[in-house]
């Protein structure tokens, strides 16, 4: 299972690198074409916008795994023992609930996204926003895993608080 998880996140990181490199090439190419030839490639603008959406959602997944999201830990940092445990557990439960709300909203909007397409590429917006499904499910699974690890004592609350100031 651990190898599968490592493979999954390495794949996400590879897709992010590919998206970023393709975006840079397309945008830079369009800048050069517009500056020197007074023309551009329309599909490049739309594809780079779609890749940015994917990059954002995939980056959120990787950041969740690495505890890289911005957090306000001023209260949790001052707590200790059982209150800290409850606060961290509540925080993870809220993350899980937010992922559930995001997934529910995506399912409600699915029919609308299928009907809409990109103007230039003709790509269905459901393909573009499928990254959000992946994001909600992945972050939700990570939060659920953190809750289970906290509940079973395999990880302490302090380990789930990404701060250099934790004792």
pLDDT, averaged per 10 consecutive residues of the chain (167 residues), comes to 90 96 95 91 92 95 84 74 86 94 92 85 88 95 93 80 56
| Helix boundaries (H) for the chain | 2-37, 42-65, 74-78, 82-115, 125-128, 130-152
pLDDT at 143: 94
Q: Among residues 19, 84, 97, 28, which one has the least CA distance to residue 56?
A: 19
Coil, strand, or helix at residue 124?
Answer: strand
DSSP conformation class of 162: -
pLDDT at 167: 46
pLDDT at 166: 46
pLDDT at 147: 93
pLDDT at 96: 96
pLDDT at 163: 59
pLDDT at 9: 94
pLDDT at 154: 85
CA trace torsion 114, 108, 140, 74 (10° rounding): 120
Instruction: Read off the pTM.
Output: 0.84
């Amino acid at each position: 299972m651990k190898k599968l998880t490592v493979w999954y996140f390495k794949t996400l990181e590879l897709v992010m690198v590919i998206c970023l490199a393709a975006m840079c090439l397309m945008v830079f190419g369009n800048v050069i074409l517009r500056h020197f030839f007074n023309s551009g490639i329309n599909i490049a603008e739309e594809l780079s916008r779609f890749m940015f959406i994917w990059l954002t959602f995939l980056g959120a997944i990787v950041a969740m795994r690495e505890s890289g999201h911005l957090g306000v830990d001023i209260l949790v940092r001052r707590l200790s023992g059982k209150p800290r445990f409850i606060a961290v557990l509540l925080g993870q439960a809220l993350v899980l609930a937010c992922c559930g709300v995001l997934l529910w909203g995506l399912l409600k909007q699915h029919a609308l996204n299928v009907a809409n397409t990109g103007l230039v590429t003709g790509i269905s917006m459901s393909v573009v926003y499928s990254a959000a499904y992946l994001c909600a499910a992945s972050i939700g699974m990570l939060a659920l895993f953190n809750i289970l690890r906290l509940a079973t004592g395999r990880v302490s609350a302090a380990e789930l608080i990404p701060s250099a100031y934790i004792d």
